[in-house]
Structure formats: C-alpha cells, structure tokens
Amino acid sequence: MELYNNFSKWLDKQLSKDLPNNIVAINFNLYEGIKQTYDVELVGCDMFDENDEDWVCDEVFDTREDLFFVPRTDDISHWEKGLSFITELVNKYLSEGKYADELKSYKAIGIGFVDGNINILYPIK
C-alpha cells in the first residue's frame, strides 16, 4: 500500500527528530483539507487526562509546517470513514513502524478531528 509507505516515511521523519523531553502523550490531529484531503498533524503534549480531552491543547511539539495529506476518495469521503481509514494507518504503524516502540512509551496515543472527540488508540483499554 503506497499510501501507508508514504505515511510511514513521513512519521519516521517526524519521530527521528529530537522531541521535547516533557511530551507525555501523542495525538494525531485531523483536519478536512481544502484540497479534497484529510490533513494529518502529529502533536506532542505535556499532559494527559483520559477524562478531559483538552489535554491535546497542551502542545509542546507539532508538525503544523509539515502535514501529511490523505486524498479524499469516494470510499472515504465522509469524515467518519476518513477517521477510520487514518486510524488504520496509525494502528499499522504501531504494529510494524520503525518508531512504534518509542510511540508506545508515551502514556497515550490519540487520534481525532480538531473539532471532534479524541479516540485513544494506545494503550488499548
């Protein structure tokens, strides 16, 4: 799957950087892009509270200047299908990606649209 390979390369590039030591949780922020894409941003946060999704607002790292773009095709045109598809990309990376163990060393890994709810992907409850 070429899209997964590109996503993996993008994520490898982000995670190979010297990330701030005070990151305790990671989130994949999703946006509905203006060019028929879903835009993916990686953020590192210095707090995590499973009962308060505002933890994602405490960013100490972001890839806002280097987003990953997922083309919106007919089969993922609805945001819920887009979220599910990108969640599959992240879960695949968590099982086989180069920096999967580093990602799993954080308290939590979440994913969600910036104007919606956060789904916790890891640790799995």
Residue-wise pLDDT for 50-104, tens only, equals 899 999 999 999 999 999 999 999 999 999 999 999 999 999 999 999 999 999 9
The reply to whether 123 falls in a domain is no
Q: Which of 41, 44, 98 is nearest to 66 (CA)?
A: 41
Instruction: Write out the residue range of the structural domain in which residue 73 sits.
Output: 2-114
Residue-wise pLDDT for 42-60, tens only, equals 999 999 998 999 999 999 9
- pTM of the shown model: 0.95
The reply to whether 69 falls in a domain is yes
Tokens of 100: 């999967």
The reply to whether 100 falls in a domain is yes
Task: Write out the E strands in 46-107.
Answer: 59-62, 68-71
The reply to whether 66 falls in a domain is yes
Residue 124 has pLDDT above 90, yes or no: no
Q: What is the pLDDT of residue 1?
A: 78
